[in-house]
Amino acid sequence: MMLIQSGHVMHFVFGLDTGWDPQRRDDGSIPFKDIVRRHRSHVAMGVLSLVAGLSISPSLVAWMSPTILGLILAIFLSWAPAFEASASPAPRRSLADSGRANDATRRRACQFFGRGTGPP
Protein backbone atom coordinates (compact mmCIF):
# COMPACT_ATOMS: atom_id res chain seq x y z
CA MET A 1 0.00 0.00 0.00
CA MET A 2 2.85 2.35 0.80
CA LEU A 3 4.39 1.76 -2.63
CA ILE A 4 1.07 2.53 -4.34
CA GLN A 5 0.61 5.75 -2.36
CA SER A 6 4.21 6.82 -2.95
CA GLY A 7 3.69 6.25 -6.67
CA HIS A 8 0.61 8.46 -6.63
CA VAL A 9 2.52 11.23 -4.86
CA MET A 10 5.36 11.03 -7.40
CA HIS A 11 2.90 11.16 -10.30
CA PHE A 12 1.30 14.24 -8.75
CA VAL A 13 4.65 15.95 -8.07
CA PHE A 14 5.85 15.43 -11.64
CA GLY A 15 2.50 16.41 -13.17
CA LEU A 16 1.68 12.98 -14.58
CA ASP A 17 -1.73 11.36 -14.83
CA THR A 18 -2.68 10.08 -11.37
CA GLY A 19 -4.83 7.29 -12.79
CA TRP A 20 -8.15 8.43 -11.35
CA ASP A 21 -10.59 6.22 -13.22
CA PRO A 22 -14.35 6.77 -13.40
CA GLN A 23 -16.53 4.84 -11.00
CA ARG A 24 -17.23 1.24 -12.04
CA ARG A 25 -20.91 0.36 -12.20
CA ASP A 26 -20.65 -3.37 -12.92
CA ASP A 27 -20.09 -6.17 -10.40
CA GLY A 28 -16.92 -4.51 -9.11
CA SER A 29 -14.61 -7.36 -10.07
CA ILE A 30 -11.16 -6.52 -11.37
CA PRO A 31 -9.66 -8.56 -14.22
CA PHE A 32 -6.64 -10.64 -13.19
CA LYS A 33 -4.43 -8.96 -15.81
CA ASP A 34 -5.15 -5.58 -14.19
CA ILE A 35 -4.17 -6.97 -10.80
CA VAL A 36 -0.92 -8.33 -12.27
CA ARG A 37 -0.21 -4.98 -13.95
CA ARG A 38 -0.87 -3.12 -10.69
CA HIS A 39 1.31 -5.32 -8.47
CA ARG A 40 4.13 -6.48 -10.74
CA SER A 41 6.41 -3.73 -9.44
CA HIS A 42 5.68 -4.85 -5.88
CA VAL A 43 6.61 -8.44 -6.71
CA ALA A 44 9.81 -7.18 -8.38
CA MET A 45 10.62 -5.12 -5.27
CA GLY A 46 10.07 -8.19 -3.09
CA VAL A 47 12.35 -10.37 -5.22
CA LEU A 48 14.98 -7.60 -5.33
CA SER A 49 14.76 -7.23 -1.52
CA LEU A 50 15.13 -10.99 -1.11
CA VAL A 51 18.21 -11.17 -3.35
CA ALA A 52 19.79 -8.08 -1.77
CA GLY A 53 19.05 -9.35 1.72
CA LEU A 54 20.53 -12.77 0.99
CA SER A 55 23.68 -11.15 -0.39
CA ILE A 56 24.04 -9.07 2.79
CA SER A 57 22.94 -11.44 5.54
CA PRO A 58 20.47 -14.33 5.87
CA SER A 59 19.43 -13.01 9.28
CA LEU A 60 18.39 -9.76 7.56
CA VAL A 61 16.10 -11.77 5.29
CA ALA A 62 14.63 -13.52 8.33
CA TRP A 63 13.97 -10.15 9.98
CA MET A 64 12.45 -8.69 6.79
CA SER A 65 10.55 -11.86 5.85
CA PRO A 66 7.04 -10.52 6.63
CA THR A 67 7.58 -7.56 4.31
CA ILE A 68 9.37 -9.56 1.62
CA LEU A 69 6.71 -12.28 1.66
CA GLY A 70 3.92 -9.69 1.42
CA LEU A 71 5.57 -8.06 -1.57
CA ILE A 72 6.24 -11.34 -3.38
CA LEU A 73 2.65 -12.52 -2.77
CA ALA A 74 1.09 -9.12 -3.59
CA ILE A 75 -0.71 -10.35 -6.70
CA PHE A 76 -2.24 -13.33 -4.92
CA LEU A 77 -3.10 -11.31 -1.80
CA SER A 78 -4.93 -8.76 -3.93
CA TRP A 79 -6.71 -11.30 -6.14
CA ALA A 80 -7.74 -13.99 -3.63
CA PRO A 81 -10.22 -12.01 -1.47
CA ALA A 82 -12.03 -10.66 -4.53
CA PHE A 83 -12.14 -14.12 -6.10
CA GLU A 84 -13.49 -15.76 -2.94
CA ALA A 85 -16.12 -13.05 -2.47
CA SER A 86 -17.37 -13.41 -6.04
CA ALA A 87 -17.44 -17.22 -5.79
CA SER A 88 -19.44 -17.22 -2.56
CA PRO A 89 -23.23 -17.40 -3.03
CA ALA A 90 -23.93 -15.69 0.30
CA PRO A 91 -22.40 -12.45 1.53
CA ARG A 92 -19.91 -12.85 4.36
CA ARG A 93 -20.35 -11.11 7.67
CA SER A 94 -17.38 -9.42 9.23
CA LEU A 95 -16.52 -9.27 12.91
CA ALA A 96 -17.45 -5.59 12.91
CA ASP A 97 -21.02 -6.25 11.78
CA SER A 98 -23.64 -5.34 14.32
CA GLY A 99 -27.34 -5.92 14.48
CA ARG A 100 -29.80 -8.67 15.30
CA ALA A 101 -27.32 -11.48 14.67
CA ASN A 102 -25.51 -10.44 17.85
CA ASP A 103 -28.60 -10.03 20.04
CA ALA A 104 -28.54 -13.63 21.26
CA THR A 105 -24.93 -13.28 22.33
CA ARG A 106 -25.66 -10.00 24.13
CA ARG A 107 -28.67 -11.55 25.83
CA ARG A 108 -26.60 -14.49 27.11
CA ALA A 109 -23.86 -12.14 28.35
CA CYS A 110 -26.41 -9.99 30.21
CA GLN A 111 -27.91 -13.08 31.84
CA PHE A 112 -24.47 -14.38 32.77
CA PHE A 113 -23.52 -11.13 34.47
CA GLY A 114 -26.94 -10.79 36.12
CA ARG A 115 -28.15 -7.72 34.23
CA GLY A 116 -31.52 -8.93 33.03
CA THR A 117 -32.26 -10.24 29.58
CA GLY A 118 -30.43 -7.60 27.53
CA PRO A 119 -31.79 -6.13 24.30
CA PRO A 120 -35.32 -7.07 23.20
**Quick one: pLDDT at residue 27?**
62
Q: Spell out the domain ranges in the chain.
A: 35-88
Looking at residue 28, what is its pLDDT? 63
Which pLDDT value is given to residue 52?
95
CA–CA dist 41, 44 (Å, integer) = 5
The answer to whether the beta carbons of residues 46 and 75 sit under 8 Å apart is no
Per-residue pLDDT tens, the chain, 120 aa: give them.
677 778 778 877 887 776 666 666 566 677 888 889 989 999 999 999 999 999 999 999 999 999 999 999 999 988 887 665 555 555 555 555 555 556 677 777 777 777 655 555
pLDDT at position 94 is 55
Positive or negative CA dihedral for 23, 29, 35, 36?
negative
Residues 6+ apart with CB under 8 A from 102: none
pLDDT at 115: 65
Cα–Cα distances in angstroms (integers) from residue 7 to residues 15, 35, 75, in the given order:
12, 16, 17
Amino acid (one-letter) located at 48: L
- pTM for the full predicted model: 0.55
Buried b (16+ CB within 10 A) or exposed e, 20-54: eeeeeeeeeeeeeeebeeebeebbebbeebbeebe
Check residue 50 and give its pLDDT: 96
